[in-house]
């Protein structure tokens, strides 16, 4: 089936990290987009992020200024779902909370045309249960983009119990149009990607809490040892620690297995508002514009790693994967040791238990005197 002919308007719900990236990718491929959130201020912030991402693509010569302008021009904004009456396809990217998503799907069931497809970018919530609150569950499907959406080539598709073949094929067609590669999962908690990834991130938090290694050693070990672009702790910061916690709770609740219990330190960080890149602080500290800079660096590393393996020059990949402070590529960046010191000294960090844990890590990681009061620039 040729989805490029059938699709014209795509509605995106949620102008957060994921919704913004999804809207940008859709508009860049010529689709008209309606981007909706609860408040215009939130949407404006998302459009600002998109604008900066497009400007960087123009500067690097990947797209022309006209392409950037026409991408933005294809995006309309809304603070209600009423305009979704015109949508052929909807991608919901609201927070990872089943009740919020169900309320949205109930409303979508009422306003969208009967032939449209309703997809969710959920990382872990049952597609079958979301579909069950609608009157036409055959048109509901899981469409799980990865962060940062603009550069990560994968979309995980999850077929719910009611999802029709036609819904699946049309969603595959949209993925192709976006230039994404698909992996297909059964509708199980966490699907494939986060069922495997989240317990690893959770275990990295346990290692940090127990002082098994410093955050930088945990990340460096896992990054270089598994040839990954980011270590699990920085990856968790990039995903959002609140999202990671919600997913662990879904896995724990749905499987009823204590092996999925969230690490208490992860819970404490979220309770304390340390949500990762999006709040400026998570395991690590981030300055303004961190999300975009981090996405760019990850892209550069990804591209460099691919090049390096293609020409079989392992040393090139290693140099590019070293922290900037050791390879000397970015003198403005400071090592995560300094970052840990920042957290140790800062007057605004969490409770006594956390301070104690940080002291343990400080000793365990063999840090010397208090480093400069700067966070890592990502
Ligand atoms: N962050 C990641 O790396 C990642 C990766 C893959 C999938 N996901 C999934 O994508 C979804 C969104 O994650 P995110 O990281 O973008 O979260 P986010 O917190 O950055 O964004 C969520 C947005 O939804 C908005 N929102 C809340 N209630 C709403 C409502 N009723 N109607 C419209 N908008 C509403 C919020 O204002 C916010 O802007 C989650 O289901 C998450 O599991 C996240």
pLDDT digits (tens, 9 = 90+) for 286-318: 976 666 666 666 666 656 555 544 433 332 233
Q: How many domains does the chain divide into?
A: 2
Confidence of residue 371 (pLDDT cuts 50, 70, 90): very low
- Residues 174, 304 share a domain: no
Nearest CA to ligand 1 atom 18: 16
Q: Is the pLDDT of residue 67 over 70?
A: yes
Q: Which domain-ending residue is among 152, 186, 220?
A: 186
**CATH code, domain with 108:** 3.40.50.720
Q: Which domain-ending residue is among 186, 205, 220?
A: 186
Angle 193-210/352-364 helices, nearest 10 degrees?
A: 80
- What separation in Å is there between the alpha carbon of 273 and the centre of ligand 1? 16
- Residues 284, 174 share a domain: no
Confidence of residue 137 (pLDDT cuts 50, 70, 90): very high
Nearest CA to ligand 1 atom 33: 37
Around ligand 1, the residues with Cβ closer than 6 Å are 13-19, 36-38, 42, 93-96, 100, 104, 121-123, 144-147, 239-240, 243, 278
Residue 228 burial by Cβ neighbours in a 10 Å radius (0-12, 13-18, 19+) = middle
- Residues 279, 167 share a domain: no
- Residues 349, 207 share a domain: yes
**CATH code, domain with 303:** 1.10.1040.10
Contact yes or no for 270/210 (Cβ under 8 A): no
Q: Is the pLDDT of residue 126 over 50?
A: yes
- Residues 91, 206 share a domain: no
Q: Which domain-ending residue is among 161, 186, 211?
A: 186
- Residues 136, 200 share a domain: no
Q: What is the pLDDT of residue 220?
A: 98
3-state class (DSSP) for residue 48 = helix
Indicate the range of 3-7, 25-29, 164-168 predicted with least confidence.
3-7
Contact yes or no for 276/240 (Cβ under 8 A): yes
Asked if residue 376 belongs to a domain, the reply is no
Indicate the range of 35-39, 60-64, 312-316 predicted with least confidence.
312-316
Q: Which two tokens stand for residue 202?
A: 């959770």
> Residue 42 belongs to what domain range?
3-186
């Amino acid at each position: 089936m040729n989805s490029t002919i059938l699709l014209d308007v795509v509605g995106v719900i949620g102008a957060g990290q994921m919704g913004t990236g999804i809207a940008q990718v859709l508009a860049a491929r010529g689709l008209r987009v309606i981007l909706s959130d609860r408040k215009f201020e939130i949407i404006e912030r998302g459009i600002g992020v998109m604008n900066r991402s497009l400007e960087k693509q123009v500067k690097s010569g990947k797209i022309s200024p006209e392409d950037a302008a026409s991408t933005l021009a294809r995006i309309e904004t809304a603070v209600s779902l009423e305009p979704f009456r015109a949508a052929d396809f909807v991608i919901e990217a609201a927070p990872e909370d089943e009740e919020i998503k169900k309320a949205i799907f109930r409303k979508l069931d009422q306003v969208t045309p009967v032939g449209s497809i309703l997809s969710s970018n959920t990382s872990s919530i049952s597609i079958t249960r979301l579909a069950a609150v609608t009157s036409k569950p055959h048109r509901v499907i899981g469409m799980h983009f990865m962060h940062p959406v603009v550069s990560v080539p994968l979309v995980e598709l999850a077929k719910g119990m009611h999802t029709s073949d036609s819904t699946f094929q049309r969603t595959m067609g949209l993925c192709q149009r976006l230039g994404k590669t698909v992996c297909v999962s059964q509708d199980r908690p966490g699907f494939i990607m986060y069922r495997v990834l989240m317990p690893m991130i959770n275990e990295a938090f346990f290692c940090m809490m127990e002082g098994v290694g410093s955050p930088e050693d945990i990340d460096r070990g896992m990054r270089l040892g598994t040839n990954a672009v980011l270590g699990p702790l920085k990856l968790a910061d990039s995903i959002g620690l609140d999202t990671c916690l919600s997913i662990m709770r879904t896995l724990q609740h749905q499987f009823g297995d204590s092996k999925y219990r969230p690490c208490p330190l992860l819970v404490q960080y979220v309770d304390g508002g340390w949500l990762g890149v999006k709040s400026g602080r998570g395991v690590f500290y981030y300055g303004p514009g961190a999300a975009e800079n981090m996405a760019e660096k990850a892209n550069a590393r990804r591209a460099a790693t691919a090049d390096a393996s293609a020409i079989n020059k392992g040393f090139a990949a290693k140099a590019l994967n070293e922290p900037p402070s050791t390879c000397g590529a970015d003198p403005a960046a400071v090592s995560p040791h300094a970052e840990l010191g920042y957290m140790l000294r800062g007057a605004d960090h969490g409770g006594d238990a956390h301070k104690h844990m940080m002291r343990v890590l400080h000793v365990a990681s063999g840090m010397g005197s208090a480093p400069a009061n700067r966070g890592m620039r990502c």
